[in-house]
Structure 1
Amino acid sequence: MNNIKLDLTNLLDEIIAGGKYSNLQLNYYFTSKNYNKKEKSFITNIIHTTLKNLIFIDYLIEKNSSSIKKRKIKQLVRISVAQFLLNKDEDYSGIVFEAVETAKIINKHQSGFVNGILRNIFQKYDQLVSEIPVSKKYSVELSYPQWIINKVAADHPENYIRILQSYKTKSYLSFRINPHKISKEGFIELAKKNESKILFEVENVFYMSNPALLQTKEFHDGLFFVQDASSYLAVKAMEVEDGDIVLDACSAPGGKMTAILQEYNPELLIATDIHEHKIEILKDIKKKNNFTNLKIVQNDAREIGSLNEKFDKILLDVPCSGLGVLRKKPEKIYSLESSDIKKLKKIQKDIFDSAYHSLKENGVIIYSTCTFTREENTNNIKYFTEKYPDLHIEIINFPDNVFISKDEFGGSFIDYRNKYLDGFYIAKFRKKGKNEF
């Protein structure tokens, strides 16, 4: 266990201090180290618990120490407190012992400090919780920066606490099948064979009890892909027709691009991304799947006109604050600033403006984000419809088992009531033809 505790310390440090994404770093550790299934589950649980409760954990630490100068010792204390939070009713002496032994490896002079601070936190836990100031109650207990609490409360005053609580719950791995290579029945049988239970399904997307299918030949052969149903439903909302010229403007990491080509038959799909390394990922997907009607271009989505093409369908899954995917990327809120949303809103508007001018008459734009702030969603939709009176919003039909709420302009939230799906906002615009005025 000591080696795993040390790995957890290093992993958390890479995420918090190194700015790495938790899901990517977990995958890296799991492919580079020889953990068994139980160890992988333990590591994932501790990292997610730490990140989802970081402000609360730091409150407990700071009530017992004004500062911890050694960064990795602080990470060790954090993961030990997270381990305690998962097992508050059990004897904590084992957690303290493991932490002390790990501290001896990191910095032997800090082992006594680690022993003392953890015992103080665990023994005084109920008292420390009772002393949380009323003014900081939700921020500390739910581990959100106060400005996010304020923003969500302003945007969704009736249910903001339930929204914030829901995105601290467990995330689930989901696969979208390639209907040309495997049937639903075939996927269900494969899941049973690998002792992986299907917890929930949305059309061709299945949420799983464990990641076992990631290790199968069928996954590596492209019979199914990692994709959340929310982004899949954004693709479905386009209703691509045979012969369409389609643009996926912010395409990486390629899930939506692949879904378009496996669910529909456009004449041409152009997939773009601004980052060169992400373009290489898209090219690898194209090569692996032998997509002949796919063109990949490195391009800034604010400059769609440079592609010299008019499109029937455009998918804009724009850069956003990402609050709807906090179950999968809980660390995101600790680096996000309120000013970032203003900057993102400017980028979102520029991307939409660029797309509008490259859209054919009667063409469709899908505008989507993985966040739930009105500033990035409803307010933008209001701006777009006022600026472009030849655009009108169309109704999107969602599966009956997906909870949807709509704003006053007809945009749809895949909202917090969905246990499995990411939080997502989708609006569908159609450009009127001249004879419709």
Structure 2
Amino acid sequence: MNDIIQAAGWALIHFLWQGALIGAGAAVLLRMMGGARPGTRYAVSCAALLACLLWPAYEFVAALEAGPSKLQVLALAAVESIYPHSELLAGIDNRLPLLVSAWLACVGALALRSAFGLAWIARARRTGGHNGHWQLRLSQLAARLGIRREVTLRIVETLASPITAGWWRPVVLMPAALVARMPPELLEALLAHELAHVRRHDFLVNLLQNVVEILLFYHPAVWWLSRRIRHERELVADSIAADLTGEPRRLALALSELEKMQFASQRLALAADGGDLTQRIRQLVAPQQQRGNWKAVLATLGLAAACLSGYANARTDANLPAARTPAIVDFKTCSKPHWPKKDLQAEHTGTVTLSFHVGESGKVIGSKVVKSSGHPGLDKAARVGIEKCSFIPAKLRGKAVASWQQMQYVWTLE
């Protein structure tokens, strides 16, 4: 369990820079793809969000597969000087259980919120009203789009905006106010938009988005990419609906009515008022000319190079025991070394460098002289003194491990 906590904690920490790298690359690429089709930008955004999920997942699995024994061998063979930030690493490593616990608490709260949303949709499906005329019209539109599954229409009193949910048994929830107030031709355009989501299986992508948002809720890049996906998805659905009805301006007018009513959007379902309504209306009325952009190719290559570079650095760091912290002496347990009487009378001085073995309990279980002071008595007194000290043992992924340390005793007379 401790290995899982350590691997998860460091994966979450490393995603801070990984997510920033993916988000920055995606932003540059999408910026250069301004003239591309919405479907292409949608695919790029989805790929970037998927990378946000897969990269830390891979790091987590790789850390578990490495195993503590392999890392321990690397740690015990390493020299302490290669850890210039050992105190910082020690502080982070010791707080990983708290970090992971807080992350799990937030994930649980967000998952519960999503579960309540899905439960509300399921209840609306069971209790929503029926309308034979619009159910027939919905089925006819679905057949024209090549949708073979049965799509159910439910009229909901408390709903603010039409939404689509479900994959195997899709359902379109339509506000009762819209059925009563909106002209039939505009309502039909909105139904065509919802059916476009059904044909593209967008509900599954939306669920995956929610999973990524829940697991990586702390990173702004995830939320930005998710919003971008929803925006591009609505543009794609608008295009399909406009082709189906043959009148793009009809759908634009329906969206304009939605904007005036200021309907709220649903996160766990696909709503017709998602994305930037103004831009969607403009795209329907005066679509941008699609053009190729060679800069997008350069941006793609740059993003790939940056990701590979970041991955290589991450793998290089992973080969070092980054989560290992050195043993720390507890000075309260140490007493001033006893100066040998003969050496004191002879006024012997010097510096002795000791290498000592700190066990998992924090006790010194062996020592040796690396560099003598030139006086055997002082060397022996230094070894006796260090063996009386207690240490906070070195840690590898949160576990206490034995380690060799070095320390200097300086014998001087004042």
**What's the TM-score bracket when you normalise by the shorter of the two chains?**
under 0.3
Higher relative contact order (CA 8 A, sep 6+): 2
